[in-house]
């Protein structure tokens, strides 16, 4: 990666900031498009002077996107949302914005475009999130047919939104809700493995026009994930089954909050298992062996004890 010019959309997010740091260590010259450069200055400390630059954009102005893609050899899109707001809908972010970035990448003549989607992307899903993810993939491939697409399951690691959030809740609440009885199965994947997959793919031309499903080595039920988490933080809590219809009611009221703890669409997404389909490539096809959940969680959850 030494001297490669890379633009990373979504570089301030959970996956993005770690990816920026990793590419910087490999000597890449990195550009990160952001709405507010002042809020992203921490990224610049991850590299040498001038190695990481922040490109101020309005993500809905195409000229801004195009300007940030200019002279890039590799463009990576990590932008995604888990719930909708008035001006940030799933369609606008996952489909229209992804398409604009892919079109701008093609116009800039970049050699590679890599797009982060999600495991569970499916046009037949009840979830608007899942539908928007597959539509985003289709829009990307239409604009940049050689794109590489990643579909990770639940991504965990330091600063994740799942285990950290529920560990914090567990410190104060005697009850944890099991939506749908906690029977939904997931295949959690370590953020470090996701980052490694992206980096390897940028060096591996055979990854063009491919879809990679990224899941960990083991499948867990939602209930099992809570049990593992509680064991690590050494707390005993009541795991209370919550029927889907009650979860949807809670989600309805949650949508009125600035940062919803749960939405109706998230409940719909949880009604279906989120595991590898075996119809696409995986970590193994990139020569990678994913880390087990149990080997990583204690490293960053121990302070919740």
* Region 86-100 average pLDDT: 96
Per-domain residue ranges of the chain: 5-158+187-219+274-290
Packed helices 98-108 and 62-69: angle between N→C axes, nearest 10 degrees: 50
Tokens of 294: 């149990």
pTM of this structure: 0.95
From start to end of 78-233, where are the E strands?
Answer: 112-116, 148-152, 155-156, 175-179, 185-186, 189-190, 211-214, 220-221
Cβ neighbours around 284 below 10 Å, total: 9
Give the least confident one: 77-81, 211-215, 256-260, 282-286.
256-260
* Region 6-29 average pLDDT: 96
Which CATH architecture fits 5-158+187-219+274-290?
3-Layer(aba) Sandwich (3.40)
Mean pLDDT, the chain, whole residue set: 96
* Region 234-263 average pLDDT: 95
Please tell me the distance from the alpha carbon of residue 167 to that of residue 200, in angstroms, as a whole number: 32
Count H helices and E strands in the chain, helices first.
11, 13
Instruction: Tell me what pLDDT residue 2 has.
Output: 80
Give the Å distances, CA to CA, from 146 to 31, 64, 292: 22, 23, 31
Q: Residue 160: pLDDT above 80? A: yes
Q: How many angstroms from the chain centroid is the CA of residue 130?
A: 13
Q: How many angstroms from the chain centroid is the CA of residue 55?
A: 21
Using alpha carbons, select from 15, 275, 10 the residue that is nearest to residue 156.
15
């Amino acid at each position: 990666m030494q001297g490669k010019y890379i633009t990373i959309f979504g570089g301030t997010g959970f996956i993005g900031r770690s990816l920026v740091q990793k590419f910087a260590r490999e000597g890449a010259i990195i550009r990160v498009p952001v709405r507010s450069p002042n809020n992203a200055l921490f990224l610049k400390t991850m590299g040498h002077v001038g190695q990481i630059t922040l490109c101020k954009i309005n993500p809905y102005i195409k000229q801004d996107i195009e300007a940030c893609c200019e002279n890039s050899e590799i463009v990576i899109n990590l932008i995604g949302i888990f719930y909708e707001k008035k001006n940030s809908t799933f369609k606008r972010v996952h489909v229209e914005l992804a398409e604009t970035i892919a079109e701008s990448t093609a116009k800039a003549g970049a050699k590679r475009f890599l797009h982060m989607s999600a495991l569970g992307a499916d046009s037949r899903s009840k979830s608007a999130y899942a539908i928007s993810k597959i539509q985003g993939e289709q829009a990307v491939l239409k604009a940049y047919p050689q794109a590489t697409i990643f579909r990770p399951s639940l991504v965990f690691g330091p600063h994740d939104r799942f285990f950290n959030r529920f560990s914090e809740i567990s410190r104060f609440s005697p009850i944890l809700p099991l939506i749908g009885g906690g029977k939904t199965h997931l295949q959690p994947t370590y953020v470090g493995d996701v980052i490694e997959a992206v980096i390897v793919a940028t060096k591996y031309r055979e990854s063009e026009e491919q879809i990679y499903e990224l899941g960990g080595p083991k499948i867990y039920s939602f209930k099992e994930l809570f049990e593992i988490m509680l064991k690590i933080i050494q707390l005993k809590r009541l795991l209370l089954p919550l029927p889907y219809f009650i979860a949807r009611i809670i989600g309805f009221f949650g949508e009125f909050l600035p940062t919803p703890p749960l939405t109706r669409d998230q409940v719909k997404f949880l009604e279906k298992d989120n595991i590898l389909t075996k119809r696409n490539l995986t970590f193994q096809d990139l020569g990678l062996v994913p880390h087990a959940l149990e080997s990583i969680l204690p490293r960053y959850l121990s302070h919740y004890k």
